[in-house]
Amino acid sequence: MLILPSVYLPNVLYFAELLGGERVLIEHHEHYIKQTFRNRCEIFGANGRLALTVPVRRPHGNHTPIGLVEVDYAVPWRNVHWRSIKSAYGTSAYFEFVADVLEPLFGQRHGRLIDLNMAMLGAVLGFMGLRPDVGATLAFEVRYDAPHRDQRGMAHKAQGRSGVELLRGAPYYQVFASRHGFMPNLSIIDLLFNEGLGAAAHVQHIVELLRSRSGSPS
């Protein structure tokens, strides 16, 4: 059993974990922590790595469970995110194909961050034709013992640095790579816009690389 955090438009390593073959539970009860991938993702823009952040409200301050964190629509972040995505990937090979799936999501309004994240995740998995065994945690656990694998730390950028180095050895085409070089482990949408339906095979390749390195995805 694999425990993953709720993340906004997750990165490639997150998807490699998700598709590693284990039953997955996504954490719905931990306290929300700022400045993590729970409410942000990274894409590849003309000037390099670009972070997109969803503004949120925490009704109970620092002790707000992620399941109660609210999306803040006081600022037009949905328009900003979509304009940034279009600017970054408008010339990519599969832009129109992927945009048909993603753009409508930015017209939807989700009260809770957890619902926004799950909607985005479900749409991406549907586009890729994947149906991993995914559920939600029922309560918060400080730690999980074997055979569970606790990967909730993937919400933090510092987690998985060794995995990122592995991804450098499995590059794919990126629109602005000629300016900045290949950037590994961006949001899955970077892979989708550049590889289309080939994204699923690329992620599966990453799963196999992780297995060959450690015996199981990590």
- Tell me the CB-side half-sphere exposure of residue 9, using CA atoms within 13 A: 21
| pTM score of the predicted model | 0.93
- Residue 70 burial by Cβ neighbours in a 10 Å radius (0-12, 13-18, 19+): middle
Residue with tokens 């990453």: 206
Residue ranges making up the domain that contains 128: 2-214
pLDDT of 11 above 50: yes
Average of pLDDT values for 75-86? 97
Domain count within the chain? 1
Mean pLDDT of 20-29: 92
In this prediction, residues 176-188 reach a mean pLDDT of 96
Per-residue pLDDT band at 159 (split at 50, 70, 90): low
Per the DSSP assignment, residues forming a β-bridge with 57 are 70
Give the pLDDT mean for 90-109. 96
Residue with tokens 């987690």: 159
The share of the chain scoring above pLDDT 70, in percent, equals: 96
Q: At what angle do helices 199-214 and 113-128 cross, to 10 degrees?
A: 100
Question: Which residue, among 200, 157, 167, has the nearest Cα to 39 in the 3D structure?
Answer: 157
146 has a pLDDT exceeding 90: no
pLDDT band at 217 (very low <50, low <70, confident <90, very high): very low
